[in-house]
Structure 1
C-alpha cells in the first residue's frame, strides 16, 4: 500500500482543456499540507487527440536528517503508484507505455470516449475497442477504478479535473484524509461550489464497481409537420415492419437535409426495392439506412449549415463549460477547393468554371491555402449562412446531379442481383455505400475505392463473398494498396 511508502509517484494523462495541470497542482498541495515534499512536471502533447499531456507528480516524506530527495522528471514504466486518465483511450495509452502494473498501480480512468482524428477519418469503423482496454486495465493494475467521468461532469456541472480529484481521494491510494483534499479546493478560491460537487461525484464513484458509459438509444423521430405525417404514413403503409424504424430516421434526416419531396424520393426508392424483397426483409432494412446516408451526402452547403446551427453553438458551449455571461468564440480551419465550390453551383455554370483556365488561376491565387475562420463572428457567420441558404438551389447543382446518377447506378445493380435471385450479393452491394463518406479527400478516396469495386463487378460478375472481401480491404487500408493488389489479382 502507498501508506507504507516514503515515495509516491503519480501520472496524469489528460487532453487539452481538461484541467490536468490544475489537478496536478491540487495533488501537490495536498501533499505539502500533510508535510510531504512535492514536485510536478509535465510533458506536453500535440493538440486535438493526436497526443495527450502527461503530468507527473512525485511526493516524498521528508528525511529525518534533512536531506532532500532527487525526484524524477517524468514517469518511468513499472515505477508508477497511481495513474489517472481522463478518457478511455488515455487509459489505453497508459497501459501501452507501461505506467500501470498489476502488482503496484492504482489505475483511475474514465470509460467515456473522445474520438481521435484518426478514428474519425478511417474509411471504415476506426474506433478503438473499448472493451479490450477495460479488460486490460483490470489485468494490468492492482486496482482499477473506472466510470464515465464525462457523465459525472454533466451531472455536477463541474469540470473533469475535480471528478478525478474526488476519485483519487475516494480510492484511498494516498495516505491523506479527505478533508485535506477538500481544503485544497476551498483555498484555491476558484469555482469552489461546482468543484465540490464534482469532487463528491468522483469520490462516490470510486466506491462502486467499474461502470461502462450508458448507451443512449435514438428514439424514432415523431413527425411535427403535415408533410412529415404524410411521409410517416407512407412508410408504415408501404414498407415492411423490419425496415420502418430505419426508414423513419431516413425520412427525418432527408427532410432536414433538403425537403419533403426529397424524402418522398427516398421512400420511392425503398418501396421499389421492398417489392422485390422477401422475409425477413433484411435487404430493405439495410437499404433504408444506406440510401438515406448516400442521399444526404456532405457538400459545402451542408457543412455551412451544420456549422452555423444554434444547436451546435449550444453543444460547444456545453462542452467547454461556458457560463451564461461568457462570450464564446469558435475558430475553425477551412480550406475549400475549387471543385467543392463549383459543385454547389448550377451544373452548366459549374462545368464551364471547371474547364476555365482563368477560373482555375483565380482559385489558385485566392484559395490556394486554408485559413482560420472565426465562425462566431458576424462577418463569417453571415457568409456561412448565405452558403447554407443555397440549399434551395441544390437540386440544380452539379454535385446533386452527379450523386443522383451514382445512386441510381448503385441501386440498379442491387435490383439486378435481387432479380437474379442472389439476395446475398444484393446485400453486399448495398453495404458498399459505407465507402462513401465525408467530404474533400476522404470522400474522393472512398468514391475511388467504390468505383473500382463496382467497375470490377460490372466487367466480371463477383460473388457476395468477393464483393465483401474487396469492401473490407478498402475499409481497412486508407492507402488503397490492399484493394489495388486484390483488383489487379482479379484481372
Structure 2
C-alpha cells in the first residue's frame, strides 16, 4: 500500500473517530460515466449506513483512480464500483447487529422479533475491537490454542434485552476503523486494486478476471477464512509472479479462472495447490 493510500485512510479514519463526519454524501468522481453512476451512488449510501460519510469518501477516493483510466470500460468500472463496496462493507459482528436492528423499522409487514445464531471464530470477535485492546487478547488466545475456536453468537430482536444488546454491538461502529479486522481489510482492498492496476499495465485482457476475484471472499467464519486463503494462493502463486516477470502466462485470465474452479472448501487447499502447480509447470515447460 502506498504512503498516499495510508495517509488517505488515516485521514478518513480520524475524521470519523473524532466526530468531524457530517451527513452530506460525498460527490461522485468527476468524469464518472453515466452508466456507472447508479452503482457508485448506491455504494455511497450503503457505506454511509455502514460506517459514515468519511468512509464513503474513502470509497470515492479509491474509485477515482480508475475513472478515465486506459483499458477500463464502463462494464469494468461498474464491477469495480460494486465489488469494492461489497468488500468495504464486510460482515463483522457489528454489521450483523446493524442489519438485525434494521429489521425493526416499524413498517407494516416488517418481520416480528426473531433470533439468528451465527458462528464466528474467536479471532473474528476479538478482531472487531480496537487494536490496542485486541492485540493482547489475540496473543493470549493464540498462546492458549483458542484462536480459531468457534463460538455461536445470538442476534435477537425477540426481547428488550436482545435489542439493547444489539444496539450496544452496533454502537461499536464508531471504533471499527481502529480495529484489527479493519486494518487487514484495508490492506486487502488496496492490494486488490493494485493488482487490477498492474494487470491494466502488464496484461489488460486479464483485468476483468482480476476484478472478479473479489467475489471469492465473502461472509464470516470458516467461509470467509477459506475464501481469503484461496484468493491469496492464486494471487501469490499465479498473478503476482506473472506481473513480476517470474512466470510466463500469456493467458493469465484463463489461468485464474481455471484455478478458481479448482478451489474447494478444503482448509488444506489440496486441489487448488495442485492446480496452481500444474499451471506453473505448464508455463515452465512452454
2:24 is the counterpart of 1:227: yes
1:17 aligns with none
1:419 aligns with 201
**Equivalent residues of 1:329, 1:376 under 8 A apart:** yes
Structure 1 residues without counterparts, runs of 5 or longer: 1-224, 320-327
3-state SS of paired residue (2:265): coil
Q: Distance in 2 between matches of 1:257 and 1:371?
A: 20
Relative to 1, partners in 2 of residues 1:386 and 1:285: Cα closer, same or farther, differing over 3 Å? same
Q: Distance in 2 between matches of 1:380 and 1:339?
A: 23
2:240 aligns with 458
3-state SS of paired residue (1:332): strand
Tell me the TM-score normalized by structure 1. 0.46
3-state SS of paired residue (1:297): coil
1:370 aligns with 152
2:260 aligns with 471
| Alpha-carbon offset, residue 335 of structure 1 | 3.7
Whose relative contact order is higher, 1 or 2, with alpha carbons under 8 Å and at least 6 apart?
Answer: 2
Relative to 1, partners in 2 of residues 1:284 and 1:380: Cα closer, same or farther, differing over 3 Å? same
Q: Distance in 2 between matches of 1:445 and 1:275?
A: 35
3-state SS of paired residue (1:238): coil
| Alpha-carbon offset, residue 390 of structure 1 | 0.8
Q: Distance in 2 between matches of 1:464 and 1:363?
A: 36
Relative to 1, partners in 2 of residues 1:373 and 1:303: Cα closer, same or farther, differing over 3 Å? closer
**Equivalent residues of 2:199, 2:207 under 8 A apart:** yes
Q: Distance in 2 between matches of 1:299 and 1:372?
A: 14
Relative to 1, partners in 2 of residues 1:423 and 1:245: Cα closer, same or farther, differing over 3 Å? farther
Q: Distance in 2 between matches of 1:352 and 1:417?
A: 39
3-state SS of paired residue (1:333): strand
2:55 aligns with 262
2:5 aligns with none
Task: Give CA deviations for 1:93-137 in whole Å, capped at 9, x if unaligned.
Answer: xxxxxxxxxxxxxxxxxxxxxxxxxxxxxxxxxxxxxxxxxxxxx
Tell me the TM-score normalized by structure 2. 0.76
Q: Distance in 1 between matches of 2:126 and 2:110?
A: 35
Task: Give CA deviations for 1:296-335 in whole Å, capped at 9, x if unaligned.
Answer: 11111101111122457869x656xxxxxxxx44233244
Superposition pairs for residues 75-94 of structure 1, below 5 Å? none
2:236 is the counterpart of 1:439: no
2:191 is the counterpart of 1:409: yes
1:386 aligns with 168
Bigger strand fraction: 1
Relative to 1, partners in 2 of residues 1:245 and 1:362: Cα closer, same or farther, differing over 3 Å? closer
Bigger helix fraction: 2
Structure 2 residues without counterparts, runs of 5 or longer: 1-21, 244-248, 281-286
| Alpha-carbon offset, residue 245 of structure 1 | 1.9
- The number of equivalent residue pairs is 249
| Alpha-carbon offset, residue 397 of structure 1 | 0.7
Relative to 1, partners in 2 of residues 1:385 and 1:490: Cα closer, same or farther, differing over 3 Å? same
| Alpha-carbon offset, residue 372 of structure 1 | 5.6
**Equivalent residues of 1:277, 1:283 under 8 A apart:** no
Q: Distance in 2 between matches of 1:362 and 1:413?
A: 34
2:27 is the counterpart of 1:246: no
Q: Distance in 1 between matches of 2:54 and 2:206?
A: 30
